[in-house]
Amino acid sequence: MSMDREQKEGAEVLLMGNESIARGALEAGVRVAAGYPGTPSSEIIETLSRFSEAGKLYVEWSTNEKVAMEVAAAASFAGLRSLCVMKQNGVNVASDFLLHLTGSGTRGGMILVSCDDPGALSSVNEGESRHFARLMEIPLLEPADFWEAKEMTRWAFDLSEAIRNVVMVRSVTRMSHASGNVVLGPLPAVTAKAQFLCDGPVSDPDRGPVTSAPVIQKHRLQQEKLRKAAALFEDSPFNTYEGPETPELLIITSSACTLYSREAISLLRAEGRAGILKLGTTWPLPPALLKRHLRRTEKVLIVEEVLPFLEDQVKILAAEQAREIGIKTFYGKNDGTLPMVGELNPDLVAAAVGQILGIDPPAIPAEYREKLRALTAALPKREQTFCPGCPHRASFWGIREALQRDHRGGFVCGDIGCYAMASLFPAAGFHTAKTLHAMGSGTGIASGFGKLGPFGMEQPVLAVCGDSTFYHAAIPALINAVHQNADITFIALDNSGTAMTGFQSHPGLDVNAMGEASPKVDIAALCGAMGVPVTIGDPFDLIGTRVTLNRLLEEPGVKVLILKQSCALSPEKKVKKRFLVRVDEALCRGEACGCNRLCTRIFRCPGLLWNRERKKAEIDEVICAGCGFCAGICPAGAIRSEEAAK
Amino acid sequence: MTEHLTKDPYNIVITGVGGQGNVMASRVLSNMLVRKGFRVTIGETFGMSQRGGSVMSHIRVSPTAVWSPQIPKGMANLIVALEPIEAIRVLADYGNPSVKVLVNLRAIYPVGVITGEDEYPSEGKIRETVAALAAEARFLAATEEAIRLGNPILGNIVMIGAVSGLGVLPIDRELFETVIREWMPAARVEANLHAFAIGQAAVALKSPLPQREV
């Protein structure tokens, strides 16, 4: 269903934005690609991994984004073209290295692709990575359609080599996870040989050591590179204007917002009144190009996601050029014409343009609208929850039971993965997880809470963390907790894969991104080497988990519990049920039980149904994954499980 | 040279619940249209899709232009629902007096319904609501047909066949076969072709599929 090796040069195919970016890198002759999984970026590395081949393309899922960027940088230093890929908050993780890398400069073309998530469709933030381009003083490119995503990525490598520095390509969910027509270009023959030339003086960019020092000289050189990029941007084909010669309103936009702006003009039939300056090179802005277009009119609307990044830069240029271009009226985020939070869409942009031009957006007939409102008001919601058979539901149930028995108001510091739903949606984690921030932060926060005993805090502190998250960022936090002697119970929810984003490999598995056998790094052994007690359990063993946890909660210092059970969606689990589960109607007392319908109202596995007519619980055999865990929660013992035939 | 569309862009929403093959359906349909020379944009929401949430793909089809991955509110031309209440959910945002709607009648209960907190509307009520809001509404027992073919996931292909049968887009069985052969192991092609033909015939003949309890 996705791009493969069979597709030939010249073919017009449907590609996802992420596949198009990957194709652009392939057409540019990328040799090394590294990333850390994160929606909406993961398909770029996944696509490239299908093209990996010894000596031609090396692809890895790195332990985190900073390491991914370092791996890609090494390839660049050795003269190869390289790519590192991450979601928006991954750039924060990589930013310390990026600060120094942009000072040292690069050799082989090196691209940083960041996929942002305006509206937080699959994130717990809508952080913007565009600001890093300005902060780190490197060029920024933003594709506005699927084909351009490929062309722009390909060209970004040329730009990187022209200025000898990293180039950032920024996508958004509506670009990365949308699809459109793309015409494939040729894949170049392999020619590059890896060699790190480092025997020259520090001033030699081709043969010297690669460092950000001497800082002032290198910083000056970095800014010269940026000016060179701005000069190249003046004639870039990625910046285009469409509309009347002297429009009433000039829209300046980039990325997916270009498509929303075009649609808005079409909806309002305002083609004769508004023009669109679509910018593909959004930092640094090319001043002469902006001057030429700002001269067209007095009213300017900037359409972008999420914060006013372009808007601020355009205003600075307009202020500098005010004598030549005249005074403008600006509309955008700062004046509230467009919302400063969340993602945009054609309707929001049409409303903004309509408001400025005095045009009402098209409306559906009032009579139909009324009927629609009346007939669609009372639909049952679809709440997101752990899958049937998910080990996380079992783990949080065990934690819930242990905390209830402990009675001291203990709580869980949550982290990033499917199990974040324990913090996001109260029903999914039984109200146990109470904080949720960045990758690994649950453990760091717990480490802090774990030192508050002398201030009178008596609540037990727990942290949960998935296996991939453990390697990514929890290890330093856990080491900190050990060294500071914090009182915490650390629970690794090990489901054997980066499940949330689609089972990418990580250091705990014996296979890498290219499908090759790889050495495993064992979580239990690592924790053991930190000198703290480690217990390994099965989350489906409810009593065992509860008893272990109640014991650990009483003990001082750092205690590690690894709850190991594969994700319910993992290939080996999907094949067959381990248990056949049924409800014994004679034993289920229904509403009269006094359990308050624990199984369906509290436990809420989608495989457990409440039969309204019979007033009894029952199992939906199509949905039930056969984990058998619910047999242990029914106080009447009415849920029965038996081992399925092999 | 591309064939004529009744609208430019022609806006399709394919909706369902995670795990029903929504993304697959949108890619199959869109690939058929790309082969016909159209510019197609698919906008998808996934990421949490495997965790019980509603899934929606927006497909924009045009002879000339690339359109936004989000359809403006109230501007769907065709809604293909793999799950009945998702049809109504999409109508609420994208419905208009001329929209056509294809509904697979097989319900997938949300957690709130499973736990007895919410009530799922009856099939009669669903039919009545969709018919009242659509210019043309067709109801299919696509999942039941797919189960008879050996795999409930083929319900998505029955629905793509139904789109073909509706006659609003220039897609036929031959084109479907070309596209599906590229993606599927040969062993699975036959069942897919059957599923497509069942959906196509059900709508083209204006005779609903035999209705079963859903």
Strand A608-611 vs strand A616-619: parallel, antiparallel, or unpaired? antiparallel
Q: Residue holding tokens 């652009």?
A: A24
Helix (H) or strand (E) holding B177: helix B173-183
Assess contact for B86 and B16: CB atoms under 8 A: yes
Is A4 part of any domain? no
Whose CA is closest to A410, among A481, A459, A450? Answer: A459
Choose among B41, B96, B114: nearest Cβ to A178.
B41
Choose among B51, B97, B113: nearest Cβ to A365.
B97
Assess contact for B106 and B83: CB atoms under 8 A: yes
Q: What does the longest C-alpha to C-alpha distance in chain A come to?
A: 87
**What pLDDT digit, counting tens, does each position of A162-195 carry?**
999 999 999 999 999 999 999 999 999 877 799 9
Give A508's Cβ-side CA count (13 Å radius): 25
What are the residue boundaries of the structural domains of chain B, listed by start? 10-139+168-184
Whether residue A351 lies within 8 A of chain B, CB to CB, comes out as: no
Give how many domains chain A has, as a whole number: 4
Shortest Cα–Cα distance, B85 to chain A (Å):
7
DSSP type of residue A455 = G
* Cβ within 8 Å, pair B118-A381: yes
* Cβ within 8 Å, pair B69-A382: no
For residues A305 and A192, membership in a common domain is answered with no
Shortest Cα–Cα distance, B55 to chain A (Å):
10
Whether residue A125 lies within 8 A of chain B, CB to CB, comes out as: no
For residues A296 and A220, membership in a common domain is answered with no
* pLDDT (0 to 100) of residue A51: 94
How far is Cα A380 from Cα A46, in angstroms, rounded to an integer? 36
* pLDDT (0 to 100) of residue B214: 32
Q: Which residues of A touch B31 (CB under 8 A)?
A: 14
**CATH code of the domain in which A329 resides:** 3.40.50.920
Number of Cβ within a 10 Å radius of residue A555: 11
Mutate to test the interface with B, among A151, A372, A392 (most CBs of B within 10 A): A372
Choose among A259, A371, A375: nearest Cβ to B66.
A259
* Cβ within 8 Å, pair A376-B52: no
For residues A228 and A251, membership in a common domain is answered with no
Whether residue A52 lies within 8 A of chain B, CB to CB, comes out as: no
What domain range includes position A312?
240-357
Whether residue A381 lies within 8 A of chain B, CB to CB, comes out as: yes
For residues A481 and A353, membership in a common domain is answered with no
* Cβ within 8 Å, pair B34-A13: yes
* Domain formed by B10-139+168-184, architecture: 3-Layer(aba) Sandwich (3.40)
Whether residue A417 lies within 8 A of chain B, CB to CB, comes out as: no
How far is Cα A119 from Cα A125, in angstroms, rounded to an integer? 8
Shortest Cα–Cα distance, A646 to chain B (Å):
22
Shortest Cα–Cα distance, A169 to chain B (Å):
20
ipTM of the complex: 0.93
Regions of chain B short of the pLDDT cut 50: 1, 207-214
Q: Which residues of B touch A365 (CB under 8 A)?
A: 97
* Cβ within 8 Å, pair B70-A177: no
**CATH code of the domain in which A163 resides:** 3.40.50.970
Is A370 part of any domain? no
* Cβ within 8 Å, pair B89-A601: no
Is A373 part of any domain? no
Which two structure tokens, joined as six digits, stand for A310? 């372009």
Q: Which residues of A touch B115 (CB under 8 A)?
A: 597, 600-601, 604, 610
* Cβ within 8 Å, pair B111-A385: yes
For residues A564 and A583, membership in a common domain is answered with no
For residues A561 and A597, membership in a common domain is answered with no
* pLDDT (0 to 100) of residue A4: 62
Helix (H) or strand (E) holding A282: strand A281-283
Whose CA is closest to A584, among A541, A539, A642? Answer: A642
Domain's final residue, options A331, A357, A383: A357
Choose among A347, A376, A381: nearest Cβ to B112.
A381
State whether the Cα torsion A38-A43-A47-A48 is positive or negative.
negative
Whether residue A424 lies within 8 A of chain B, CB to CB, comes out as: no
- 3 state SS of A599: helix
- Can you state the angle between helices A475-483 and A441-449, rounded to 10 degrees? 10
Helix (H) or strand (E) holding A34: strand A32-35
Return averaged pLDDT per consecutive 10 residues of chain A, 646 residues in all.
Answer: 68 95 97 96 96 94 98 98 98 98 98 97 94 98 97 98 98 97 93 92 93 96 98 98 98 98 98 98 98 97 98 98 96 98 97 98 93 92 88 96 96 94 78 95 98 97 97 98 98 90 89 94 97 97 97 97 93 80 93 90 90 90 89 95 84
* pLDDT (0 to 100) of residue B49: 54
Count of pairs with CB atoms under 8 A, one residue in A, one in B: 165
* Cβ within 8 Å, pair B30-A179: yes
For residues A553 and A505, membership in a common domain is answered with yes
* Cβ within 8 Å, pair B43-A178: yes
